Chain A
């Protein structure tokens, strides 16, 4: 298939269908409403189900129901909508129901604004549901990667029996880019755990219920989630740009990473060896990969670039554990930090570090 020009949201929806997603439940919210719109047309064509729920709360519970019955299922929303889904995220994480949530970040807090933003990093990676649970979070930085990662997200959710989130932003959702969407429908997914109907003693009953009868059962459930999450961490990866010989490393994801790569070029033109490390996984955070790229004698400083008051920077600091100085260069309010601003910030901190 040759490349076509597609809007991010529509391309993501098509990519989900091409990897076997056959149920979509959701509620419109800017900047991702093109996803349900596209699904409402495409799902009937492929024999799938599209349903516009009465709220995000209803939608995510429908997702859990369909996914619990073994169907590849997704929903899509933005920060305010994802906030409403937290009870269900906790519940379905507890019972190991795999599905995918696309979260196109917009401005916050509250209703915030509808433009590009990264203030939902904690909401996505830490979650707002109760209890010891974790989810998988993947962060694309262009439309092609968004298509590839949503297909991977379905596979990872299946493999680790955890909900997976594709964390984009308003810009990735709304821009059009050239993409090639792959057909990767999985045959023989393991859904032996799913509530597919009990035909009398052919197997034990499958029950998806998050209240535990005993402490031991509760402990085993939590440790099981943790074990699967740790296994998923082995897959957590990064992308790098001109980072091999860098003296200063920018760390950024999503749209911030696109701007940061331009800042890297700007700095290189000024004779400063800058590089970019871009986490593709945000949860589990690619600690080992980042350390390999950053803990080198040449690296004088690390700068997290974010469109928030500083969230991912916490994970960068935890990963580097004080071994390199970590700075934050950021804008909020849907202002995108410009390459020159980032470059100026880097020059300023380098003059301090070199002292």
Chain B
């Protein structure tokens, strides 16, 4: 059974890092993973998005198809407009309410509203907002274990060990905020 997530925001929000730690975590648990970034001109300043596919078997089509994605996380308003339709019926839409003021969303999906930047700022570093989102994605769909995700975070921040504690806190805050009540 393949699961797909899509994360979108603007360049600098750490969109690719969200996909990267979820992908690395799943790999350590023996999953087949495909990390498909949007790149090119979009890397600089514009929008940035990544689709990550997880499966126990070979991944045939890793491309994001509208209406088929299990979890879509949108970090800014243009991303909501572009990718809300990508969530499958019964899937999850994670919305960063710090940059998205909309209140009307699709009714056939679970909407999780998270002020990711505010949560990270309260913890001491607004830049860790992306890890709040990563935690929320993990909580909304069981893509990997908590241990694997923390391990992947430590690996991704290996060269910047000072940033590990704050990012871990952000990750846990995201898991708490994203857990389905």
A residues lining the B interface (CB < 8 Å): 3-5, 30, 114-115, 142, 171, 174-178, 241, 255, 258-259, 261-262, 336, 338-340
Q: B171 to nearest A CB, angstroms?
A: 19
Whether the pair B27, A5 counts as a contact (CB closer than 8 A) is yes
A114 closest partner in B (C-beta): B40
Whether the pair A178, B62 counts as a contact (CB closer than 8 A) is no
As a 0/1 sequence over residues 53 to 76 of chain B, the CB contacts with chain A under 8 angstroms (1 = contact) are 000001111110110000000000
Contacts of B164 in A (CB 8 A): none
Whether the pair B35, A177 counts as a contact (CB closer than 8 A) is yes
A sample of 29 inter-chain contacts (CB < 8 A) reads: A3-B27, A3-B30, A3-B32, A4-B27, A5-B24, A5-B27, A5-B33, A114-B40, A142-B58, A171-B36, A174-B37, A175-B34, A175-B37, A176-B33, A177-B62, A178-B27, A178-B31, A178-B32, A178-B34, A241-B60, A258-B60, A258-B61, A258-B62, A259-B63, A261-B61, A262-B61, A336-B63, A338-B63, A339-B65
Q: Tell me the chain B residues, 112-167 only, with Cβ under 8 Å from chain A.
A: none
B170 within 8 A of A: no
Whether the pair B61, A177 counts as a contact (CB closer than 8 A) is no
Contacts of B61 in A (CB 8 A): 258-259, 261-262, 339
Contacts of A241 in B (CB 8 A): 60
Q: Tell me the chain B residues, 10-34 only, with Cβ under 8 Å from chain A.
A: 23-24, 27, 30-34
Among all A-B residue pairs, the 10 with the closest Cβ atoms: A262-B61, A176-B35, A261-B60, A175-B36, A5-B27, A258-B61, A177-B34, A114-B40, A178-B33, A178-B32
B residues lining the A interface (CB < 8 Å): 23-24, 27, 30-37, 39-40, 58-63, 65-66
Interchain CA distance A178-B40 in the complex, whole Å: 23
Interchain CA distance A174-B39 in the complex, whole Å: 8
A5 closest partner in B (C-beta): B27
Q: A155 to nearest B CB, angstroms?
A: 24
A177 closest partner in B (C-beta): B34
Interchain CA distance A333-B180 in the complex, whole Å: 41
A264 closest partner in B (C-beta): B60
Contacts of A262 in B (CB 8 A): 60-61, 63, 65
Whether the pair B35, A175 counts as a contact (CB closer than 8 A) is yes
Interchain CA distance A336-B40 in the complex, whole Å: 16
